[in-house]
Structure 1
């Protein structure tokens, strides 16, 4: 008597559905990187070369699509962290890439801001937990400032968001905030010997 296989190969329909879903996510992410506004699902369908019904079958609304893209980014960050742990990617470069995406992918950031506060905190917590192993390894190697804690990264995200939120989305605003990203990340990795203590103005001066 022939044994049944432990698992059956996916049907062509399931393979097509998986391929369509990946195509939608890839195209939507590209569209969001090109625009300051959240593109409609109809526009994503047009750019992906798929029918409107196909897109809505996978993602019934823009929030569902935005969350799926955010999860896709987290998966990419998880893979990048493994590269950091293997010594193939500096944590400094990874942090710059994450913060640069925060500057340029404004539709996703705005969608994130529309979520309930608890959901926002959950997503930020997921991101910091993914970065934590590389964070501690970089500190152990003497690359990252030893006085930092992982929660400080959340303050860095808020700082960059504040820089983008104080004015209209323009090319100059993006360029200036990208310069801030480089300066802030470099500050996190400043050598200990180059960090002077902050002088207390009320302390007496030695003559």
Structure 2
């Protein structure tokens, strides 16, 4: 019988339990980044196994985190919203009254890059505002805050509302897709500029 006290190694088990979770989180993030890139450049037909191969993880890792293509589409879209929210927070910290235009342009660019994913979610009757209400609400709140700052500085029209701005962003996605400009950052950026220019005071 060992003389080791049962509490003599209190930190070993918790550390072992934490490490796989950290590894799993990193693997999930790697899969999401890879999937987002491949969906944008190669379309939605890329398989989960191919995404696993490109991400440098085993197929089981992808299937464990994302049991279906739809689950992966949704995770990619939510990850995009979280990234935009982080960018909004960074822009807010600059105090720049023009920051709202930078954020909206980034939102349009991100949406254009992920238009196929958004279309797939719509076809599957997934609504991001319902599936990830907190993330969507956070991003809208940041847009509203930056819009209010810009309005106070006179860099946007007095009468524009955050709901109208969000509708314009959604419309920009449709316009870019209609023009077949999803794969051209220059063309999609130009279209975004034309649309967002309507927010400026005349």
Q: Above 0.5 in TM-score?
A: yes
Q: 2:170 aligns with which of 158, 161, 164?
A: 158
Quick one: structure 1 residues 78 and 45, their matched pair in 2 at CA, closer, same or farther if it must change by over 3 Å? Answer: same
1:185 and 2:189 are equivalent in the alignment: no
2:48·2:62 contact (CA, 8 Å) conserved in 1?
Answer: yes
1:32·1:105 contact (CA, 8 Å) conserved in 2?
Answer: yes
Deviations 1:26-64 (Å, cap 9, x if unpaired)? 111221232343532122111012111111001101121
1:72 and 2:79 are equivalent in the alignment: yes
Q: 1:63 aligns with which of 65, 70, 74?
A: 70
Deviations 1:149-186 (Å, cap 9, x if unpaired)? 000123213322332443657757x7544321111122
More displaced 10-residue stretch of structure 1: 142-151 or 108-117: 108-117
Return the alpha-carbon distance in structure 1 between the equivalents of residues 198 and 182 of structure 2: 26
1:36·1:169 contact (CA, 8 Å) conserved in 2?
Answer: no
More displaced 10-residue stretch of structure 1: 61-70 or 121-130: 121-130
Return the alpha-carbon distance in structure 2 between the equivalents of residues 144 and 71 of structure 1: 28
Q: 1:106 aligns with which of 107, 115, 134?
A: 115
More displaced 10-residue stretch of structure 1: 119-128 or 44-53: 119-128
Higher relative helix content: 2
Consecutive unaligned residues in structure 2, runs of 5 or more:
1-6
CA RMSD across the alignment: 2.9
- 2:51 corresponds to: 44
- 2:158 corresponds to: 146
